[in-house]
Amino acid sequence: MPRPLRALINCSALQHNLAVIHKHVHKTRIMAVVKANAYGHGLLRTAQALNSVDGFAVLELEAAIQLREAGFNQSILLLEGFFSTDEIDVINQYRLSTVIHCQDQLSMLLAHKETGKPDIYLKINTGMNRLGFRPEEGISAQNQLKQWRPDANITLMTHFASADDSLETSQVNQQLGSFALLQANQENGTCQTMANSAAILRYPGTHADWVRPGILLYGASPIADKTGVEPGLQPAMTLSSQVIAVQHLAPSDRLGYGGVFVADRPMRIGVVAAGYADGYPRHAPTGTPVLVNSQRTRLVGRVSMDMLTIDLSGMGEAGVGSPVTLWGEGLPVEEVARSAQTISYELLTALSPRVQTVSAAL
Protein backbone atom coordinates (compact mmCIF):
# COMPACT_ATOMS: atom_id res chain seq x y z
CA MET A 1 0.00 0.00 0.00
CA PRO A 2 1.33 3.50 -0.81
CA ARG A 3 1.82 6.13 1.89
CA PRO A 4 -1.75 7.01 2.88
CA LEU A 5 -1.56 10.81 2.63
CA ARG A 6 -3.89 12.19 -0.08
CA ALA A 7 -5.56 15.44 -1.00
CA LEU A 8 -9.07 14.43 -2.02
CA ILE A 9 -10.59 16.95 -4.41
CA ASN A 10 -14.36 17.14 -4.45
CA CYS A 11 -15.29 18.45 -7.88
CA SER A 12 -18.96 18.81 -7.05
CA ALA A 13 -17.96 21.10 -4.16
CA LEU A 14 -16.11 23.28 -6.69
CA GLN A 15 -19.30 23.46 -8.77
CA HIS A 16 -21.44 24.12 -5.73
CA ASN A 17 -19.17 27.01 -4.70
CA LEU A 18 -19.34 28.44 -8.20
CA ALA A 19 -23.13 28.36 -7.93
CA VAL A 20 -22.91 30.25 -4.61
CA ILE A 21 -20.81 32.91 -6.35
CA HIS A 22 -23.33 33.14 -9.21
CA LYS A 23 -26.04 33.89 -6.63
CA HIS A 24 -24.00 36.80 -5.31
CA VAL A 25 -22.98 38.31 -8.64
CA HIS A 26 -26.01 37.47 -10.82
CA LYS A 27 -25.03 37.91 -14.46
CA THR A 28 -21.55 39.33 -13.90
CA ARG A 29 -18.90 37.36 -15.77
CA ILE A 30 -16.68 35.14 -13.65
CA MET A 31 -12.94 34.84 -14.06
CA ALA A 32 -12.00 31.79 -11.98
CA VAL A 33 -8.61 32.38 -10.38
CA VAL A 34 -6.72 29.11 -10.79
CA LYS A 35 -3.19 30.33 -10.03
CA ALA A 36 -0.89 28.25 -7.81
CA ASN A 37 -2.14 25.01 -9.34
CA ALA A 38 -5.71 26.09 -8.59
CA TYR A 39 -4.81 26.83 -4.95
CA GLY A 40 -3.38 23.31 -4.70
CA HIS A 41 -6.44 21.56 -6.18
CA GLY A 42 -4.89 20.72 -9.57
CA LEU A 43 -5.16 23.08 -12.54
CA LEU A 44 -6.82 20.93 -15.18
CA ARG A 45 -9.12 19.04 -12.85
CA THR A 46 -10.35 22.32 -11.37
CA ALA A 47 -10.78 23.99 -14.76
CA GLN A 48 -12.75 20.97 -15.94
CA ALA A 49 -15.09 21.20 -12.95
CA LEU A 50 -15.50 24.96 -13.49
CA ASN A 51 -15.76 24.78 -17.27
CA SER A 52 -18.89 26.96 -17.31
CA VAL A 53 -17.00 30.10 -16.19
CA ASP A 54 -16.21 32.91 -18.63
CA GLY A 55 -12.48 32.98 -17.96
CA PHE A 56 -9.53 31.63 -16.02
CA ALA A 57 -6.72 33.63 -14.41
CA VAL A 58 -3.21 32.24 -13.90
CA LEU A 59 0.32 33.52 -13.32
CA GLU A 60 2.56 31.46 -15.57
CA LEU A 61 2.49 31.37 -19.33
CA GLU A 62 2.96 27.58 -19.09
CA ALA A 63 -0.24 27.23 -17.07
CA ALA A 64 -2.14 29.34 -19.61
CA ILE A 65 -0.84 27.22 -22.49
CA GLN A 66 -1.74 24.05 -20.62
CA LEU A 67 -5.32 25.26 -20.28
CA ARG A 68 -5.57 26.29 -23.93
CA GLU A 69 -4.06 23.05 -25.16
CA ALA A 70 -6.48 21.10 -22.98
CA GLY A 71 -9.26 22.69 -25.04
CA PHE A 72 -10.51 25.50 -22.79
CA ASN A 73 -11.81 28.23 -25.06
CA GLN A 74 -12.60 30.91 -22.49
CA SER A 75 -10.50 34.00 -21.77
CA ILE A 76 -7.25 33.00 -20.09
CA LEU A 77 -5.67 35.92 -18.26
CA LEU A 78 -2.04 36.27 -17.22
CA LEU A 79 -2.32 38.10 -13.89
CA GLU A 80 1.20 39.56 -13.96
CA GLY A 81 1.34 39.91 -17.72
CA PHE A 82 4.49 39.02 -19.65
CA PHE A 83 8.14 39.35 -18.68
CA SER A 84 9.85 39.54 -22.08
CA THR A 85 9.01 40.45 -25.67
CA ASP A 86 9.12 36.89 -26.98
CA GLU A 87 6.25 35.99 -24.67
CA ILE A 88 4.01 38.40 -26.60
CA ASP A 89 4.13 36.10 -29.63
CA VAL A 90 3.11 33.16 -27.46
CA ILE A 91 0.25 35.23 -26.02
CA ASN A 92 -0.96 35.89 -29.59
CA GLN A 93 -0.47 32.33 -30.69
CA TYR A 94 -2.62 30.99 -27.83
CA ARG A 95 -5.12 33.87 -27.84
CA LEU A 96 -4.34 34.74 -24.22
CA SER A 97 -5.36 37.87 -22.35
CA THR A 98 -2.71 39.81 -20.52
CA VAL A 99 -2.42 42.27 -17.69
CA ILE A 100 -0.31 45.34 -18.43
CA HIS A 101 0.75 46.80 -15.12
CA CYS A 102 3.83 48.92 -15.84
CA GLN A 103 5.55 51.15 -18.37
CA ASP A 104 8.06 48.43 -19.36
CA GLN A 105 5.29 46.09 -20.42
CA LEU A 106 3.48 48.88 -22.23
CA SER A 107 6.63 49.83 -24.17
CA MET A 108 7.32 46.20 -25.11
CA LEU A 109 3.77 45.84 -26.38
CA LEU A 110 3.67 49.12 -28.32
CA ALA A 111 6.92 48.17 -30.07
CA HIS A 112 5.53 44.79 -31.06
CA LYS A 113 3.80 43.87 -34.28
CA GLU A 114 0.60 42.33 -33.02
CA THR A 115 -1.19 39.86 -35.18
CA GLY A 116 -4.25 38.79 -33.18
CA LYS A 117 -6.77 41.08 -31.53
CA PRO A 118 -5.18 42.09 -28.24
CA ASP A 119 -7.17 41.53 -25.04
CA ILE A 120 -5.59 43.72 -22.40
CA TYR A 121 -6.33 44.20 -18.73
CA LEU A 122 -4.88 47.55 -17.77
CA LYS A 123 -3.99 47.28 -14.13
CA ILE A 124 -4.58 50.41 -12.09
CA ASN A 125 -2.97 51.02 -8.73
CA THR A 126 -5.73 52.57 -6.65
CA GLY A 127 -3.98 52.22 -3.30
CA MET A 128 -2.74 48.65 -2.88
CA ASN A 129 0.64 49.94 -4.13
CA ARG A 130 1.79 46.65 -5.50
CA LEU A 131 1.16 46.52 -9.26
CA GLY A 132 -0.41 49.00 -11.65
CA PHE A 133 -0.43 52.46 -13.15
CA ARG A 134 -1.58 55.38 -11.06
CA PRO A 135 -4.99 56.54 -12.36
CA GLU A 136 -3.61 59.51 -14.34
CA GLU A 137 -0.85 57.33 -15.86
CA GLY A 138 -3.52 54.76 -16.61
CA ILE A 139 -5.43 57.22 -18.79
CA SER A 140 -2.30 57.95 -20.79
CA ALA A 141 -1.48 54.22 -21.10
CA GLN A 142 -5.02 53.60 -22.31
CA ASN A 143 -4.75 56.35 -24.92
CA GLN A 144 -1.46 54.96 -26.19
CA LEU A 145 -2.95 51.49 -26.46
CA LYS A 146 -5.93 52.83 -28.39
CA GLN A 147 -3.67 54.64 -30.83
CA TRP A 148 -1.54 51.57 -31.30
CA ARG A 149 -4.43 49.23 -31.95
CA PRO A 150 -7.88 50.87 -32.11
CA ASP A 151 -9.47 47.41 -32.07
CA ALA A 152 -7.70 46.31 -28.87
CA ASN A 153 -10.08 45.19 -26.18
CA ILE A 154 -9.15 47.02 -22.98
CA THR A 155 -10.52 46.14 -19.54
CA LEU A 156 -9.70 48.35 -16.58
CA MET A 157 -8.63 46.37 -13.56
CA THR A 158 -7.83 47.08 -9.95
CA HIS A 159 -7.35 45.02 -6.81
CA PHE A 160 -8.46 45.75 -3.23
CA ALA A 161 -6.05 45.68 -0.32
CA SER A 162 -8.53 45.17 2.50
CA ALA A 163 -11.91 44.01 1.21
CA ASP A 164 -11.62 41.10 3.67
CA ASP A 165 -11.33 43.30 6.74
CA SER A 166 -14.66 44.06 8.38
CA LEU A 167 -13.12 46.81 10.53
CA GLU A 168 -11.56 48.62 7.59
CA THR A 169 -14.04 49.84 5.00
CA SER A 170 -12.45 53.22 4.32
CA GLN A 171 -9.66 51.80 2.19
CA VAL A 172 -12.08 50.07 -0.18
CA ASN A 173 -14.02 53.31 -0.54
CA GLN A 174 -10.83 55.26 -1.11
CA GLN A 175 -9.74 52.77 -3.79
CA LEU A 176 -13.18 52.95 -5.42
CA GLY A 177 -12.92 56.74 -5.48
CA SER A 178 -9.55 56.55 -7.13
CA PHE A 179 -10.82 54.09 -9.75
CA ALA A 180 -13.76 56.40 -10.45
CA LEU A 181 -11.29 58.97 -11.80
CA LEU A 182 -10.66 56.62 -14.70
CA GLN A 183 -14.23 55.54 -15.12
CA ALA A 184 -15.19 59.17 -15.68
CA ASN A 185 -12.85 59.19 -18.66
CA GLN A 186 -14.36 56.21 -20.48
CA GLU A 187 -16.40 55.81 -23.57
CA ASN A 188 -19.38 53.57 -23.00
CA GLY A 189 -18.60 49.90 -22.98
CA THR A 190 -15.13 49.79 -21.44
CA CYS A 191 -15.17 46.76 -19.17
CA GLN A 192 -14.02 46.86 -15.57
CA THR A 193 -12.96 44.32 -13.01
CA MET A 194 -12.28 44.91 -9.35
CA ALA A 195 -13.67 42.26 -7.03
CA ASN A 196 -11.81 39.35 -5.46
CA SER A 197 -13.61 36.85 -3.22
CA ALA A 198 -13.96 39.18 -0.26
CA ALA A 199 -15.42 41.99 -2.38
CA ILE A 200 -17.84 39.54 -4.02
CA LEU A 201 -19.29 38.81 -0.59
CA ARG A 202 -19.02 42.20 1.04
CA TYR A 203 -19.15 44.88 -1.67
CA PRO A 204 -21.82 44.22 -4.34
CA GLY A 205 -21.10 47.69 -5.76
CA THR A 206 -17.71 46.46 -6.96
CA HIS A 207 -18.91 43.55 -9.09
CA ALA A 208 -18.80 45.53 -12.39
CA ASP A 209 -18.24 43.41 -15.56
CA TRP A 210 -15.97 40.66 -14.28
CA VAL A 211 -15.37 39.28 -10.79
CA ARG A 212 -12.22 37.34 -9.94
CA PRO A 213 -12.95 34.77 -7.24
CA GLY A 214 -10.20 32.53 -5.96
CA ILE A 215 -10.60 31.24 -2.42
CA LEU A 216 -14.43 31.13 -2.55
CA LEU A 217 -14.28 28.55 -5.33
CA TYR A 218 -12.25 26.30 -3.08
CA GLY A 219 -14.76 26.61 -0.26
CA ALA A 220 -12.87 28.70 2.24
CA SER A 221 -13.78 32.14 3.56
CA PRO A 222 -11.77 35.17 2.49
CA ILE A 223 -12.84 36.92 5.67
CA ALA A 224 -10.74 36.66 8.81
CA ASP A 225 -12.31 34.70 11.68
CA LYS A 226 -15.02 33.29 9.42
CA THR A 227 -15.24 29.91 7.74
CA GLY A 228 -16.74 28.98 4.40
CA VAL A 229 -19.65 27.34 6.22
CA GLU A 230 -21.45 30.66 6.78
CA PRO A 231 -21.73 31.72 3.13
CA GLY A 232 -22.78 28.14 2.36
CA LEU A 233 -19.55 26.94 0.76
CA GLN A 234 -18.24 23.40 0.73
CA PRO A 235 -14.55 22.57 1.19
CA ALA A 236 -13.15 21.32 -2.10
CA MET A 237 -9.99 19.80 -0.63
CA THR A 238 -9.79 17.26 2.17
CA LEU A 239 -6.28 16.44 3.26
CA SER A 240 -6.52 12.93 4.51
CA SER A 241 -4.08 10.39 5.94
CA GLN A 242 -3.91 7.56 8.45
CA VAL A 243 -2.40 6.65 11.76
CA ILE A 244 0.72 4.62 10.92
CA ALA A 245 1.96 3.87 14.46
CA VAL A 246 0.79 4.13 18.06
CA GLN A 247 2.90 4.99 21.10
CA HIS A 248 1.99 4.71 24.77
CA LEU A 249 3.41 7.46 26.94
CA ALA A 250 3.83 7.31 30.71
CA PRO A 251 3.58 10.52 32.75
CA SER A 252 6.67 12.71 32.12
CA ASP A 253 7.57 10.93 28.84
CA ARG A 254 8.48 13.43 26.15
CA LEU A 255 7.30 13.38 22.55
CA GLY A 256 9.01 14.22 19.26
CA TYR A 257 11.67 16.78 18.35
CA GLY A 258 12.89 18.95 21.18
CA GLY A 259 10.83 16.86 23.58
CA VAL A 260 8.66 19.95 23.92
CA PHE A 261 5.52 18.01 24.70
CA VAL A 262 5.57 16.19 28.03
CA ALA A 263 2.83 13.75 29.02
CA ASP A 264 1.21 14.63 32.35
CA ARG A 265 -0.72 11.34 32.47
CA PRO A 266 -0.69 8.04 30.57
CA MET A 267 -1.40 8.86 26.94
CA ARG A 268 -1.97 7.03 23.70
CA ILE A 269 -0.37 8.83 20.75
CA GLY A 270 -1.09 8.29 17.07
CA VAL A 271 1.67 8.95 14.55
CA VAL A 272 0.15 10.31 11.33
CA ALA A 273 1.73 10.25 7.86
CA ALA A 274 1.76 14.01 7.18
CA GLY A 275 4.45 16.56 7.93
CA TYR A 276 5.69 19.97 6.94
CA ALA A 277 7.31 18.62 3.76
CA ASP A 278 3.75 17.79 2.69
CA GLY A 279 2.55 21.31 3.39
CA TYR A 280 1.15 20.81 6.87
CA PRO A 281 2.24 23.93 8.79
CA ARG A 282 5.20 23.34 11.08
CA HIS A 283 4.00 26.19 13.26
CA ALA A 284 0.77 24.42 14.17
CA PRO A 285 0.97 24.13 17.97
CA THR A 286 -0.25 21.47 20.36
CA GLY A 287 -4.02 21.75 20.42
CA THR A 288 -4.51 22.28 16.67
CA PRO A 289 -7.65 20.32 15.72
CA VAL A 290 -7.40 17.05 13.79
CA LEU A 291 -10.07 14.45 13.01
CA VAL A 292 -9.51 10.74 13.57
CA ASN A 293 -12.36 8.40 12.65
CA SER A 294 -14.31 11.64 12.03
CA GLN A 295 -13.91 12.62 15.71
CA ARG A 296 -12.08 15.68 16.84
CA THR A 297 -8.82 15.38 18.67
CA ARG A 298 -5.68 17.51 18.85
CA LEU A 299 -2.21 17.68 17.50
CA VAL A 300 0.43 17.16 20.20
CA GLY A 301 4.14 17.96 20.03
CA ARG A 302 6.09 19.40 17.13
CA VAL A 303 5.18 18.71 13.53
CA SER A 304 8.12 17.01 11.85
CA MET A 305 9.02 16.75 8.18
CA ASP A 306 7.06 13.61 7.35
CA MET A 307 4.95 12.91 10.42
CA LEU A 308 2.89 14.51 13.10
CA THR A 309 1.52 13.17 16.34
CA ILE A 310 -2.02 13.31 17.72
CA ASP A 311 -3.68 12.48 21.00
CA LEU A 312 -5.62 9.21 20.84
CA SER A 313 -6.31 9.06 24.59
CA GLY A 314 -9.98 8.28 25.08
CA MET A 315 -10.46 7.82 21.32
CA GLY A 316 -11.71 4.25 21.70
CA GLU A 317 -10.80 2.04 18.79
CA ALA A 318 -8.62 4.55 16.96
CA GLY A 319 -5.27 3.02 16.07
CA VAL A 320 -3.04 2.02 13.19
CA GLY A 321 -4.98 2.41 9.94
CA SER A 322 -7.56 4.83 11.36
CA PRO A 323 -8.43 7.58 8.87
CA VAL A 324 -7.25 11.07 9.76
CA THR A 325 -8.46 14.38 8.34
CA LEU A 326 -5.95 17.20 8.59
CA TRP A 327 -8.41 19.69 7.04
CA GLY A 328 -11.40 19.74 4.74
CA GLU A 329 -14.69 17.89 5.14
CA GLY A 330 -15.66 18.19 8.83
CA LEU A 331 -12.68 20.40 9.73
CA PRO A 332 -12.50 23.80 8.03
CA VAL A 333 -9.01 24.62 6.79
CA GLU A 334 -9.55 28.10 8.27
CA GLU A 335 -9.53 26.59 11.78
CA VAL A 336 -6.21 24.87 11.20
CA ALA A 337 -4.83 28.03 9.62
CA ARG A 338 -5.92 30.17 12.55
CA SER A 339 -4.30 27.78 15.01
CA ALA A 340 -1.06 27.96 12.99
CA GLN A 341 -1.35 31.77 12.79
CA THR A 342 -1.73 31.85 9.05
CA ILE A 343 -4.56 31.91 6.48
CA SER A 344 -6.30 29.17 4.51
CA TYR A 345 -4.74 30.47 1.29
CA GLU A 346 -1.25 29.63 2.51
CA LEU A 347 -2.15 26.12 3.61
CA LEU A 348 -3.96 25.25 0.36
CA THR A 349 -1.33 26.69 -1.97
CA ALA A 350 1.57 25.23 0.02
CA LEU A 351 0.37 21.67 -0.49
CA SER A 352 3.52 19.88 -1.58
CA PRO A 353 3.82 18.33 -5.04
CA ARG A 354 4.68 15.06 -3.28
CA VAL A 355 1.08 14.82 -2.03
CA GLN A 356 -1.07 13.01 -4.53
CA THR A 357 -4.29 14.85 -5.35
CA VAL A 358 -7.16 12.62 -6.36
CA SER A 359 -10.68 13.44 -7.50
CA ALA A 360 -13.11 12.02 -5.02
CA ALA A 361 -16.81 12.26 -4.42
CA LEU A 362 -17.25 12.70 -0.68
Name the site residues for ligand PLP (rule: CB under 6 A): 33, 35, 79, 159, 196-198, 212-215, 222
> Shortest gap between Cβ of 87 and ligand PLP (angstroms)?
18
Long-range contacts of 43-51 (CB under 8 A, 24+ apart): 43/67, 44/70, 45/9, 45/11, 45/357, 45/359, 46/9, 46/14, 46/217, 47/72, 48/11, 49/11, 49/12, 49/14, 49/15, 50/14, 50/15, 50/18, 50/217
Which residue among the candidates 35, 218, 276, 345 is catalytic per the annotation? 35
By C-beta, is 30 or 198 nearer to ligand PLP? 198
Which residue among the candidates 123, 257, 276, 345 is catalytic per the annotation? 257
Distances in Å between the Cα of 354 and the Cα atoms of 1, 104, 235, 283, 351 are 16, 37, 21, 20, 8
By C-beta, is 194 or 315 nearer to ligand PLP? 194
By C-beta, is 196 or 238 nearer to ligand PLP? 196
> Shortest gap between Cβ of 227 and ligand PLP (angstroms)?
15
Q: Assess whether 257 carries a catalytic annotation.
A: yes
Distances in Å between the Cα of 101 and the Cα atoms of 120, 130, 206, 330 are 10, 10, 20, 41
The whole-angstrom separation of Cα 290 and Cα 207 is 37
* Closest residue to ligand PLP: CB criterion: 214
> Shortest gap between Cβ of 271 and ligand PLP (angstroms)?
34
By C-beta, is 99 or 318 nearer to ligand PLP? 99
Please give the single-letter amino acid code of residue 310: I
The whole-angstrom separation of Cα 164 and Cα 125 is 18
Which residues neighbour 78 within 8 Å (Cβ) at sequence distance 6 or greater?
58, 59, 61, 64, 91, 96, 97, 98, 99
> Shortest gap between Cβ of 190 and ligand PLP (angstroms)?
18
By C-beta, is 124 or 292 nearer to ligand PLP? 124
Provide the 3-class DSSP secondary structure of residue 89: helix
By C-beta, is 13 or 198 nearer to ligand PLP? 198
Distances in Å between the Cα of 157 and the Cα atoms of 126, 180, 221 are 10, 12, 23
> Shortest gap between Cβ of 203 and ligand PLP (angstroms)?
13
Q: Assess whether 35 carries a catalytic annotation.
A: yes
Greatest alpha-carbon pair distance for the chain in Å reads 78
> Shortest gap between Cβ of 213 and ligand PLP (angstroms)?
5
Which residues neighbour 230 within 8 Å (Cβ) at sequence distance 6 or greater?
221
Catalytic residues: 35, 257
